[in-house]
Amino acid sequence: MSELMTTHPADAPRHAQASPLLTAEDRDLQRRGRDLVFALAGALRALQLYPLENQAVVEALSSLEAAAQAVLGHEDEIVVRYVGDFFFVNDVRLRQDLASYATFGQVGRALERHGIGQLEVFHGVERGEWTALLSLVNAEPAEAEPFAAFFDRLGRTAVLHLAVGPGRDGEPDPTGDKARQIAKRTYAQTVAVARDAMTGLRIGRGVSLRPVKRAVQAIVDQVLTNEASIVGLTTLRDYDEYTFTHSVNVCIFSVALGKKLGFDKHQLYELGLGALLHDVGKVRMRIELINKEGPLTADEFQEMQQHPAEGLLSLFEMRGLSEMPLRAMLVAYEHHMKVDQTGYPQSIRRREPTLFGRIVAVADGFDAATTKRSYQAQPWPADKVLREMRDNPARGFDPLVVKAFISMTGIYPVGSVVILDTYELAVVVQANPNPEALHQPIVRVLFDPLGVPVSPPRTLDLSETDASGRPRHSIIKTTDPERYGINVGDYFV
């Protein structure tokens, strides 16, 4: 160690254990990474001591921005990890010496209090985002589950180009209220990212793929660890935000379908990326067409049919294209194709849509048909949509994918409002985990037979049987939540 301390940084080994010689780029990164951690320490300290407008704070933040920019000028993103007293920047370990020892320790401890083990910085980060994040780091950590609490607080801010990850002990509890909150946060952030990307493309501003990729990774993580919560959020249908919530819902459904079909994590990520951007071509359509109330004329419909091809073109224009997998891009082109080769766009040479395209088509068809949109006054109940998708071949969905979708959501998907044989009104909150009981989901009873609200709502497993083996409760039919003034999303938050 003493030898390390006296060595000039340029000669220091990349990792203390392995000691391979550093490349010139690694040495640069090590130097810039060290500057960045020092600048973080300076900014944290300044924000602790002085008000925001104080000159010391302004200067510390300028140094921090410059230090981050120095790394980002050479890298796609910055990943700062703090592991067992050491800092790594994009996997290069920063050399610890007498001069850096105290400063690294300060920053490390500041992060560790909140259970943070990783900080990511993306292109486009703004000063306000740094201030928001660092002020949260300076704030007192929550007593219980500090990382989950920090993640939640950060999610309430407008920070998009900075992200945190847990330290080794900070993984959130995958069940309960916290899990629901984290799912909700992930959902809201993904809507914001989709809005940002699509608006950027519409006004011709360069759009970074980084936050989009990051958001899709978060959705994949949520589907893998917290599926019921994140799928439940697809029922939060916000009419004003239709384009964006629709994209996020299609992403969630597609990833959950991919999981059901046995995809690995990387495949799920590519699928999710394609799904989130499947309608990106709509940003090239006239806004009046997108927002039109009432049915489209034949001409307008034809114009609308350009969005898959336009989508593919938009994706070619997005920054970070080299990292955009082609099969994710094809989803935009293929999601309105039918398996019998009808639908649109028409290929000159006959070709089957890819599996990604067929999955997103099902997710898209389901979400579009069950959501109230500008040109669809009355959405269909979810169970009718599923039956139609399964039983009407003219709809052109891949029957195996539809089958997988139904086995994932149940016949009555989460968010369906149902009337029970007791004349109670209930909302489906979870598919029955037993594949034999797809028609018997878990529901929450909202109104008693006389229409009086049940407070708090009672949860029932419809597969429960009485002494004679008959189900205690069953569904008579689905109904329209609006008839009862129910906002289904309220029961998932």
- Tell me whether residue 279 or residue 383 sits nearer to Fe ion (CB atom): 279
- Give Dmax over CA atoms of the chain in angstroms: 82
Name the minimum Å distance from CB 50 to Fe ion: 49
Name the minimum Å distance from CB 90 to Fe ion: 36
- Tell me whether residue 334 or residue 364 sits nearer to Fe ion (CB atom): 364
Name the minimum Å distance from CB 269 to Fe ion: 20
Name the minimum Å distance from CB 319 to Fe ion: 23
The rounded distance, in Å, linking the Cα atoms of 59 and 2 is 35
> Each residue of 379-402: b (16+ CB within 10 Å) or e?
bbbbbebbebbbeeeebbbbeebb
- Tell me whether residue 37 or residue 401 sits nearer to Fe ion (CB atom): 401
Name the minimum Å distance from CB 53 to Fe ion: 45
Tell me how crowded residue 418 is: count the other CB atoms within 10 A of its CB: 22
CB 443 within 8 A of CB 427: yes
The rounded distance, in Å, linking the Cα atoms of 375 and 147 is 43
Output the CA torsion sign for 328, 332, 334, 337.
Answer: positive
Which residues form the interface with Fe ion (CB under 5 A)?
Answer: 279, 364
Question: What does the block give as tokens for 45?
Answer: 């300290």
Name the minimum Å distance from CB 276 to Fe ion: 11
Tell me how crowded residue 132 is: count the other CB atoms within 10 A of its CB: 17
- Tell me whether residue 364 or residue 424 sits nearer to Fe ion (CB atom): 364
* Residue 25 CB contacts under 8 Å (≥ 6 apart), including other chains: 74
* β-pairing verdict for 116-122 and 92-93: unpaired
How many CA atoms lie within 13 Å of 338's alpha carbon, on the beta-carbon side? 11
- Tell me whether residue 196 or residue 279 sits nearer to Fe ion (CB atom): 279
- Tell me whether residue 304 or residue 420 sits nearer to Fe ion (CB atom): 304
Name the minimum Å distance from CB 311 to Fe ion: 8
Question: What does the block give as tokens for 209?
Answer: 């793929």
Name the minimum Å distance from CB 315 to Fe ion: 14
* Cα→Cα distances 459→409, 412, 416, 446, 466, Å: 18, 16, 15, 9, 17
- Tell me whether residue 231 or residue 304 sits nearer to Fe ion (CB atom): 304
- Tell me whether residue 364 or residue 383 sits nearer to Fe ion (CB atom): 364
Name the strand (E) or helix (H) holding 258. helix 242-260
